[in-house]
């Protein structure tokens, strides 16, 4: 059974969806640890309420990005983590971290990558005027939202949309897509060749 760590900075509704999917037996792995860089992150409470170990690590205590990531990786390795899931984790991951978990770190982004990477993907898409946006689950490499795409699903933009309404509909898709991608990983069903990620039968 693969051991999963979820890293989250904020509300953690994706974390909740992942924990619910696990509870329903839809993920053949176990969330063993939740880590946050924000003391007040609601994600920490969500984890604790479900009996999952939750840890706040203050970035100011570790001297810079790489120092922080070294400490993170130390915790993850000590906990025997096989898969790192970023769920609204608002920090850039250092090359050190990526190399410690090659093709074992996933992220979810609220746009159809490679369109609108970085911060505020929903806002960027809405202001650009696209008629279709969506969300993307991808492996994390050293770039910003550039790693191999695992799953992607479109969400139509409607005329009346605000950032909030569009983000709500994207969130609803994320709650289904992220657990699916995690389960595929846990069942060793993902194979990456170059930029392409294949689902093995
Ligand atoms: C999600 O929209 C995700 O795509 C982005 O950050 C948001 C996290 O939301 N990476 P939540 O904390 O899971 O509610």
Question: Domain locations in the chain?
Answer: 2-199
pLDDT > 90: what percent of the chain?
99
Closest residue by CA, ligand 1 atom 14: 13
Distance, CA 14 to ligand 1 centroid (Å)?
Answer: 6
Q: How far apart are CA 196 and CA 130, in angstroms?
A: 25
Q: What is the pLDDT of residues 83-111, one digit of tens each?
A: 999 999 999 999 999 999 999 999 999 99
CA–centroid distance for 9 within its chain:
11
Distance, CA 96 to ligand 1 centroid (Å)?
Answer: 24
Closest residue by CA, ligand 1 atom 7: 88
Q: Which of 44, 122, 171 to mutate to test the pocket of ligand 1 (most atoms within 8 A of CB)?
A: 171
Distance, CA 88 to ligand 1 centroid (Å)?
Answer: 4
Topology of the domain covering 2-199: Rossmann fold (3.40.50)
pLDDT reading at 147 higher than 90: yes
CB 84 within 8 A of CB 181: no
Binned at pLDDT 50, 70 and 90, residue 201 comes out as: confident
pLDDT of residue 82: 98
Distance, CA 190 to ligand 1 centroid (Å)?
Answer: 23
Q: How many CA atoms lie within 13 A of 164 on its CB side?
A: 0
pLDDT of residue 116: 98
CB 112 within 8 A of CB 133: yes
DSSP secondary structure, 34-78, as one string: EEES-TT-HHHHHHHHTT-EEEE--GGGSSHHHHHHHHHHHHHHH
Mean pLDDT over 140-163 rounds to 98
Closest residue by CA, ligand 1 atom 1: 88
Closest residue by CA, ligand 1 atom 10: 88
pLDDT reading at 81 higher than 90: yes
Arithmetic mean of pLDDT over the chain: 98
Give residues (CB < 6 A) around ligand 1.
8, 10-14, 87-88, 108-110, 135, 171, 174
Q: Which residues pair with 192 in a beta bridge?
A: 197
Mean pLDDT over 118-122 rounds to 97
pLDDT reading at 58 higher than 90: yes
Catalytic residues: 109
Binned at pLDDT 50, 70 and 90, residue 20 comes out as: very high
pLDDT reading at 112 higher than 90: yes
Q: Which atom of ligand 1 is nearest to the CA of 16?
A: 13
pLDDT of residue 63: 87
């Amino acid at each position: 059974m693969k051991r999963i760590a979820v890293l989250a900075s904020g509300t953690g509704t994706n974390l909740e969806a992942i924990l619910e999917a696990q509870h329903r037996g839809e993920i053949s792995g176990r969330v063993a640890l939740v880590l946050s860089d924000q003391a007040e992150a609601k994600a920490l409470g969500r984890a604790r309420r479900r009996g999952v170990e939750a840890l706040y690590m203050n970035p100011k205590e570790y001297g810079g990005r790489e120092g922080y990531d070294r400490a993170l990786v130390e915790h993850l390795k000590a906990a025997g983590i096989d898969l790192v899931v970023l769920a609204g984790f608002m920090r850039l991951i250092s090359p050190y971290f990526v190399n410690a978990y090659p093709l074992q770190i996933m992220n979810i982004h609220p746009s159809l990558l490679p369109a609108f990477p970085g911060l505020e993907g929903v806002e960027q898409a809405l202001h650009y005027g696209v008629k279709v946006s969506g969300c993307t689950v991808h492996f994390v490499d050293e770039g910003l939202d550039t790693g191999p795409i695992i799953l992607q699903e479109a969400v139509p933009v409607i005329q009346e949309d605000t950032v909030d309404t569009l983000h709500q509909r994207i969130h609803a898709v994320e709650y289904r897509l992220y657990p699916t991608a995690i389960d595929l990983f846990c069942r060793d069903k993902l194979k990456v060749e170059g930029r392409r990620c294949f689902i093995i039968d």
